[in-house]
Amino acid sequence: MSWGIYNYDRVELHLKNGQIDYIKNLKHLKYPNDFEPQFKTSDLAKIYLVKDESFYKYVGATIQPIHTKLYQGLNSNGKTGYHGYKWKNLDKVEFFVWTFKGIDKYQMEAIEAEFVFQIRSKYGKWTDCQNEIHFNNKFPFAKELGKDLFEYIEREYPLVTNLGINEITNELFEEPIQYGLRGDPYLWKDLKVRFEYSDVKNLEEFSEFLITTFKENTGSEPLTGQNFGVKHFRFGGMSSGSVSSDFWIDRGFPLLLERYQKLKK
C-alpha cells in the first residue's frame, strides 16, 4: 500500500431473486466474469462499497474471500438473527473492493466507519441499506484512508444526483420570534434538517416539501383551528408535542415561502 494508491477491483453485480446472476468486471479485462484472484484470498483485509447511480447502498469490511462474504450476505434469511444484505433485491449494483496489507480487524472497521462518515457528511444521510457499523478510536490514520477512498469514488465514479448541502438553509430557517405551540419549534427544526440536503429546486417544490413534511409528522395537512399531538416532539411540560395548524398557515409557511423567494433571486 502506498500513499494515495490503493489496490481495488470494480465489478457490476447483476442479481436475480436475491442471488448473483452474473458478474461483469469493469476494471480487469483478464477476468471479465469474476473478481481478480487476490480479492478472493482470505489473508488480506478488504473494504467494500456497494452503490448504484442514485446513491451509496453499503460499506463493509471483511478478511474473508469476497465471494464468501457475498454468499453469506445474500443467503442469510434471519434464522441466525442476520437477515443479510438489504440491497440484494436490487437488479444491478456497482461493487468496489479494496485490499490492505497489514491491517487488523479494528483498523479495518475504523476505515469502514470513516468511509461511511464521509458519505453522511456530504449528503446528509447514511448509506441506504446499512443498519449498523463499528466505531473505535484505535487507528487515527483511518480518517485519512476513509477520506481518500471516498474522494476517489466521488471523482472517478460520481453519483447521478443533485443531493448536497443547501447553502441557504441557515438563513432560510432562522427561527421566528414566536411560535404557536410547544411542538412547533421541533417541526421547524425537522423542516430545516430535511431541507439542508434535499433536492428542492424551485418555489413549487419547496411548498410541496413543507406540506409533505407537516403531514409526515402530524398525519394530516394543516387545518384551520386544528392542533396535532406529535409523540416524537414530546419532551415534557403542558402542550408538549402539540403542533398548531394556525401558526403554520398564518405565519410559518408564508414566512418560509417569502424567504425562499428572496434567497433564490
Higher pLDDT, 206 or 197: 206
Note the pLDDT tens digit of each residue in 112-123.
999 999 999 998
Domain with 32 in it: 8-156
| Boundary (domain end) residue, out of 100, 134, 156 | 156
Question: Are residues 37 and 119 part of one domain?
Answer: yes
Query: Is 0.85 surpassed by the pTM of this model?
Result: no
Give the 3-state DSSP-derived string for the chain, with helices as H, strands as E and coil as C.
Answer: CECCECCEEEEEEEEECCEEEEEEECCCCCCCCCCCHHHHCCCCEEEEEEECCCCEEEEEEECCCHHHHHHHHHHCCCCCCCCCCHHHHCCEEEEEEEEECCCCHHHHHHHHHHHHHHHHHHHCCCCCCCCCCCCCCCCCCHHHHHHHHHHHHHHHCCCCCCCCCCCCHHHHCCCCCCCCCCCHHHHHHHHHHHHHCCCCCCHHHHHHHHHHHHHHHHCCCCCCCCEEECHHHCCCCCCCCEEEHHHHHHHHHHHHHHHHHHHCC
Answer whether residue 163 is part of any domain.
no
Question: Are residues 145 and 224 part of one domain?
Answer: no
What does the pLDDT average to over 72-99?
90
pLDDT at residue 1 above 60?
A: no
Banded pLDDT at 211 (limits 50, 70, 90)? very high
The reported pLDDT for the residue numbered 189 is 97
Q: Which residues contact 79 (CB under 8 A, 6 or more apart)?
A: none
Question: Are residues 227 and 127 part of one domain?
Answer: no
Note the pLDDT tens digit of each residue in 62-81.
999 999 999 999 998 777 77
Answer whether residue 202 is part of any domain.
yes
Question: Are residues 101 and 187 part of one domain?
Answer: no
Banded pLDDT at 240 (limits 50, 70, 90)? confident
pLDDT at residue 5 above 70?
A: no
Question: Are residues 148 and 23 part of one domain?
Answer: yes
Number of domains present in the structure of the chain: 2
Q: What is the mean pLDDT of the chain?
A: 92
What does the pLDDT average to over 190-206?
93
Question: Are residues 211 and 146 part of one domain?
Answer: no
